[in-house]
């Protein structure tokens, strides 16, 4: 099974490193790339779709839609991650295992990383009071999660056609995961790992990004907003 890698970028700050890791570790995998021509015109990719940035959700919708014209599934990649030699291979192995063994429809299957949701991060102090530097046993397991950040995540056409990302910079993944769960899809944390530089795509001002998302959430998903912002 081949799933192309879909990337959307605004500033291209970490893009060259990501693309070099793709070139080194999975050179035969097609790349679908969206971003301002001035940022990415000098970088290699098998397919380039140039566009001005709008918001995280709409930009990724556009590039995923384009890739699904050619393939049945995609792997979405943030522009601020770096792959390891086994990131792609392990992710797709976990997808195959889930589809072979799981009765529920599979939604997102996403990699672990350094900086995302606490349950998604490796070797944090989430599980006990001390910081550990060696693998927890759970890092070698596929774990079902209600919501995760698909910073390097697989999704197939059946799930994608049910819902797209909302037009948001923040909370687009929260909304999409919850929408799909309501439709019966289950999300999983893979054994795969990528290094995540952290919030290079849309910035670190969480308060500002939350306030930007709030009007849309309260209008279009008021039950989510009520649950998340009591």
Predicted TM-score of the model (pTM) = 0.86
What CATH number does the domain containing 99 carry?
3.90.550.10
Question: For position 203, what pLDDT does the model report?
Answer: 56
Domain assignment of residue 166, given as a range: 5-228
Q: Quick one: tokens of 114?
A: 């350094």
Number of domains in the chain: 1
pLDDT tens sequence for the chain (230 residues): 799 999 988 877 788 889 999 999 999 999 998 887 766 665 655 555 656 667 888 989 999 999 999 999 999 999 889 999 999 999 999 999 999 999 899 999 999 988 777 778 776 555 555 555 566 677 888 999 999 999 999 999 999 999 999 988 878 899 999 999 999 999 999 999 999 876 555 555 567 777 777 888 888 888 887 888 76
Residues 34, 164: Cα–Cα separation, whole Å:
17
């Amino acid at each position: 099974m081949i799933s192309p890698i879909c990337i959307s970028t605004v500033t291209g700050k970490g893009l060259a490193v990501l693309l070099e890791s793709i070139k080194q570790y999975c050179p035969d995998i097609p790349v679908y790339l969206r971003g301002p021509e001035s940022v990415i015109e000098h970088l290699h990719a098998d397919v380039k779709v140039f566009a001005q940035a709008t918001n995280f959700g709409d930009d990724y919708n556009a590039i995923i839609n384009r890739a699904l014209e050619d393939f049945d599934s995609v792997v979405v990649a943030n522009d601020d991650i770096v792959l390891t030699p086994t990131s792609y291979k392990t992710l797709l192995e976990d997808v195959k295992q889930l589809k072979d063994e799981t009765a529920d429809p599979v939604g997102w299957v996403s990699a672990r990383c350094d900086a995302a949701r606490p349950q998604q991060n490796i070797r944090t102090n989430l599980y006990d009071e001390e910081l550990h530097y060696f693998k927890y046993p759970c890092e070698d397991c596929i774990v079902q999660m209600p919501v995760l950040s698909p910073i390097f995540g697989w999704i197939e056409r059946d799930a994608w056609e049910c819902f797209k990302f909302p037009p948001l910079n923040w909370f687009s993944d929260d909304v999409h995961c919850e929408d799909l769960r309501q439709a019966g899809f289950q999300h999983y944390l893979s054994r795969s790992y990528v290094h995540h530089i952290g919030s290079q795509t849309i910035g670190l001002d969480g308060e500002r990004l939350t306030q930007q998302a709030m009007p849309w959430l309260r209008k279009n998903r008021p039950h989510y907003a009520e649950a998340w912002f009591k």
